[in-house]
Amino acid sequence: MNITTTTTQYISSTDLEQIVNVKFDATFLPVVATSFILFIILYKFINPFLSNILIENYKHLTIAQKIEWSTRINSSINSFTVGIICVYMMIVDRGLDENPLVYKSYLLKTNLSFVIGYLLSDSVIVIIHYKKIGDLFTMSHHLVSMYAFIYVLTLNVMPYFANFRLLAELSTPLVNIRWFLDTLKFPKTSKAFVLNGVLMTLIFFFVRIVAMPIYWWKVYTVAITPLWSHMGHFRYVLINVCIVLDIINLYWFSKMVQGCLRILKPVHRTKHG
């Protein structure tokens, strides 16, 4: 990597050293493997066992519903854990904000390992049972996310942006609760269904839609720095992956709004009819 003398006047020696020394780091891959195995065990054994004991109607679900039920429990565990850690890092880890392009955080790498293991396990499950629960957008989301997160995990590049994107996971538990309520045949006009639907749409809106301009503003602020030009192809990974994820999120949000309106209209008619 060629660094000109002019550029070195504007980039700190620490930044230069970090860029030059960017190299593959496999330290946390065993954590990814552990996370993968954990989620497979949860999916195959623990989730069905506990669901059969705790949920009366679980035994009446179809095979496809039981498969998706277990994957959504995994999804909720992953999203809750990852989301909480992301919020904590945003508040506490000032180095993340100060070094958005090259930064090593062991907590972030642990969090990324956890989520990559989950995404990998869920992708394997969906591929095996694609005819029953397969979804093109979900698979695209998983594959694109894994591709980007592996870069951050193994090369310590773009850490701020990885953590910021993971904040979107805060909306996932409510999305799953909506599916659980629907599968258990809760009336769509029930208080639980309506309240969850409204909260789900609002939280999804804030952590995935409102977050978009904030995210892209941060990208702009680093793109005009000298360091950005030396990030090589990582820049294109950052931009292209997030464009795809934003398109998927906009599609999902449009479906949520449509569903929310379908639920609220009957409720409104009932109250004012």
Q: What is the pLDDT of residues 212-226, one digit of tens each?
A: 999 999 999 999 988
Q: Residue 108's domain spans which residues?
A: 24-264
Distances (CA, A) of 237 to 129, 142, 150, 246: 30, 15, 11, 14
- Examine residue 271 and state whether it is found in any structural domain, yes or no: no
Q: Is 157 strand, coil or helix?
A: strand
Strand partners, 102: 157
User: pLDDT band at 28, cuts 50/70/90?
Assistant: very high
- Examine residue 166 and state whether it is found in any structural domain, yes or no: yes
Q: If you average pLDDT over residues 227-256, what whole number do you get?
A: 91
- Examine residue 17 and state whether it is found in any structural domain, yes or no: no
- Higher-confidence position of 73 and 258: 73
Q: Is the Cβ–Cβ distance between 67 and 129 less than 8 Å?
A: yes
Q: Is the Cβ–Cβ distance between 118 and 78 less than 8 Å?
A: yes
Confidence (pLDDT) at 260: 80
User: pLDDT band at 56, cuts 50/70/90?
Assistant: very high
- Examine residue 64 and state whether it is found in any structural domain, yes or no: yes
Q: If you average pLDDT over residues 231-247, what whole number do you get?
A: 91
Number of domains in the chain: 1
- Examine residue 97 and state whether it is found in any structural domain, yes or no: yes
Q: If you average pLDDT over residues 238-243, what whole number do you get?
A: 93
- Examine residue 6 and state whether it is found in any structural domain, yes or no: no
Q: If you average pLDDT over residues 236-248, what whole number do you get?
A: 92
Count Cβ atoms within 10 A of the Cβ of residue 230 and give its class: 0-12 exposed, 13-18 middle, 19 or more buried.
buried
pLDDT at 48 over 50: yes
Q: What's the predicted TM-score (pTM) here?
A: 0.88
- Examine residue 5 and state whether it is found in any structural domain, yes or no: no
- Examine residue 4 and state whether it is found in any structural domain, yes or no: no
Cα Rg for the chain, rounded, in angstroms? Answer: 21
